[in-house]
Amino acid sequence: MTAIAGAVADGVLPGRVWLYSNYHCNLVCTYCLTESGPKVDRRELSADRMLEVAQQAAELGFTALGVTGGEPFLQPDMAETLARLGAILPTVGLTNGTLFTGRRLAAAEVLAGSDVALQISLDSADPDVNDEARGPDNFARVVAAIPALVERGVTVRIATTRELGDEADMSRLCELHRGLGVPDSDHVMRPVISRGRAVTTGMGVAAGMNDLPAELTITADGAFWSPFGATVHGGRLDTDLLLTRTTDPLRVPALTLLGLVEGRPAGADSTLNIR
């Protein structure tokens, strides 16, 4: 057993490796960690590179993958890539859910029956509240896409990112996602983290290394502690949670991360409920 496999089995190290497929996005959300939007630089991991990382992750003893961005489905053939990643390790693909019409919706059928879940952002049962942060018509597009994907056999999770408050709205949101075919077990909630555009808009809670699960995160710019580490503010990549610029072989950042985790004092692990 590798050192990584042992640490994952012992619960010392999270089993998931994250991949930033790209940083550009069709939306410009007010709390975006990566200041993503249509006009940002194309900093990408190719499909082949993501598959290489996935293979190395499996060999090292990691147990799951995540793909995030930016909006991953702006990358060509993302559904096919996710299906191939899911054949290596169970995979969750984060998406804003606004692109699943026509060709992309049909292509997503390859995920039916695979070990891939799509995690779609939906922040409120109130279209105006949701769209204020995520853009015009976001709510309508997402509530159309979710049942269309579910009908095609795709596993869908819903992620709600919001500041605390309004329990009545949360209750309506849970009724809504159940009605769209997504059970409570596939609804995740997380706070707005004050990084990226959320700093500019004055939103969210501060989060440092000890607040964020130590999930190895690979981007075109290097390897990070947590997918909440590879963020962008003021157009510049944040490097406070950068592990190594080297990402190949994967054992270099993986062992760096393990060394940091093992060096932490007892009890100094995550305090924010982020998954």
Point out which residues bind ligand SF4 (CB under 6 A).
Answer: 25, 27-29, 32, 34, 36, 69-71, 96
Residue closer to ligand SF4, measured from CB, 94 or 180:
94
Strands 16-20 and 236-237 turn out to be unpaired
- Burial of 234: CB neighbours in 10 Å, binned 0-12, 13-18, 19+: exposed
- For the chain, the farthest-separated pair of C-alpha atoms sits apart, in whole angstroms, at 51
Residue closer to ligand SF4, measured from CB, 25 or 242:
25
Q: Which residues pair with 121 in a beta bridge?
A: 159
Taking the complex as a whole, the smallest distance from the CB of residue 194 to ligand SF4 amounts, in Å, to 14
CA nearest neighbour of 170 among 119, 125, 127, 122: 125
Taking the complex as a whole, the smallest distance from the CB of residue 226 to ligand SF4 amounts, in Å, to 16
174: left (phi over 0), alpha (psi -120 to 50) or beta: alpha
Q: How many residues does the chain have?
A: 275
Residue closer to ligand SF4, measured from CB, 91 or 231:
231
Residue closer to ligand SF4, measured from CB, 193 or 258:
193
Residue closer to ligand SF4, measured from CB, 91 or 96:
96
Taking the complex as a whole, the smallest distance from the CB of residue 220 to ligand SF4 amounts, in Å, to 15
| Paired tokens of 237 | 């990549």
Residue closer to ligand SF4, measured from CB, 14 or 70:
70
Taking the complex as a whole, the smallest distance from the CB of residue 79 to ligand SF4 amounts, in Å, to 17
3: left (phi over 0), alpha (psi -120 to 50) or beta: alpha
Q: How far apart (Å, rounded) are the C-alpha atoms in residues 238 and 34?
A: 9
Crossing angle of helices 47-60 and 251-262, rounded to 10°:
50
Residue closer to ligand SF4, measured from CB, 31 or 62:
31
∠ Cα 245 246 252 (to 5°): 125
**How many other C-beta atoms can be found within 10 angstroms of the C-beta atom of residue 271?**
12
Taking the complex as a whole, the smallest distance from the CB of residue 159 to ligand SF4 amounts, in Å, to 10
Q: How far apart (Å, rounded) are the C-alpha atoms in residues 102 and 107?
A: 9
Taking the complex as a whole, the smallest distance from the CB of residue 29 to ligand SF4 amounts, in Å, to 3
Taking the complex as a whole, the smallest distance from the CB of residue 25 to ligand SF4 amounts, in Å, to 3
Q: Which residue has the tokens 């007892």?
A: 266
